[in-house]
Structure 1
Amino acid sequence: MSVDRKTVAIVDDDDDLLEATAFFLESMGYDVVSFASGEAFLAAGGAHRVELLLSDINMPGMSGLELQDIVRHRFPKIKVIMMTALRDEALKEKALANGARDLLQKPILADDLVNSIEKA
């Protein structure tokens, strides 16, 4: 019997956070694909198998909000959770209004990440 593992894409320009988050989610039973930018995620062409996108907001080049908008239109079945180190209520409102299921504050606590993913 095969187990139906969900695929999570993580997009963040912080290599340490990217690696730690991927390791944690893999230990929780998720398949994880990681990208250092929104452009890399879109260029990889694997969005068709991703069920959840976990993206930083502030990145060089394409911002997470720009990526979120593209994903919302091109891949409407992908659920999106945004992450940021900024404490900005307007930014949170914008991300949520644009379809994000949640906005997690960095540094992200493991329980907060799991709860957010389970809700999404």
Structure 2
Amino acid sequence: MSAVKKSVAIVDDDEVLLEATSGFLEAMGYEPLPFPSGESFLTFDQKEGLTLLLSDINMPGMSGFELLDIVRKKHPDMRIVMMTALKDESIIRKALAGGAQALLQKPILADDLVKCIEG
């Protein structure tokens, strides 16, 4: 990897998953940027430098689908990967149709996450 760390924003209301994913990414040499909600991510003003946005779908308040729609309109080139614990084909289709590059199934496998980041 280059000397510049790749930044990955993680949006999830599950604090344990947010901390675990952040710790894993940091150990792998990435710069994790954790956010507990879509609303908090939208206040972040350095979105242009992100390598990837990783967002949960089911969250209180703003859903991951709502966040996907807003970010896709404002930052059409941003790479976005959604994640969910639900096993529903319609959710996968909706995420991909909305502009997500992939949908990861929770619990997320480390290899799958790295593949999405390295894209």
TM-score, length-scaled by structure 2: 0.93
Which position in structure 2 is the counterpart of 1:112? 112
- Do the aligned residues in 2 keep the contact of 1:51 with 1:77 (CA within 8 Å)? no
Unaligned 5+ segments in structure 1 are none
The answer (yes or no) to whether the contact 1:81–1:102 under 8 Å persists in 2 is yes
RMSD: 1.2
Which consecutive unaligned segments of at least 5 residues does structure 2 have? none
The answer to whether 1:42 aligns with 2:42 is yes
Equivalents in 1 of 2:104, 2:88: separation in Å? 12
Give the whole-Å Cα distance in 2 for the aligned partners of 1:105 and 1:54: 12
Identity across the alignment (%):
62
Q: 1:5 Cα deviation (Å)? A: 1.5
TM-score, structure 1 as length reference:
0.93
User: By how many angstroms is 1:76 displaced?
Assistant: 1.8
> 1:45-68, CA deviations, whole angstroms, 9 ceiling, x for partnerless residues?
232222210000000000001101
Q: Where do 1:39-118 residues align within 5 Å?
A: 39-118=39-118
AA paired with 1:108? Answer: I
Deviation at 1:42, TM superposition (A): 0.3
User: 1:2-32 CA distances to partner (integer Å, 9 max, x unpaired)?
Assistant: 7122111000000000000011111111111
1:21 aligned residue: 21
Once residues 31 and 38 of structure 1 are traced to their aligned partners in structure 2, the CA distance between those partners, rounded to angstroms, is 19
User: Residue 8 of structure 1 contacts residue 53 of structure 1 at CA under 8 Å; is this kept in 2?
Assistant: yes
Q: Which amino acid aligns with 2:67?
A: L
Contact 2:53–2:81 at 8 Å: present in 1 too?
Answer: yes
Counterpart residue type for residue 35 of structure 1: F
**In the alignment, residue 84 of structure 1 is paired with which amino acid?**
T
Structure 2: which amino acid aligns with 1:98?
A: G
Aligned residue pairs total 118
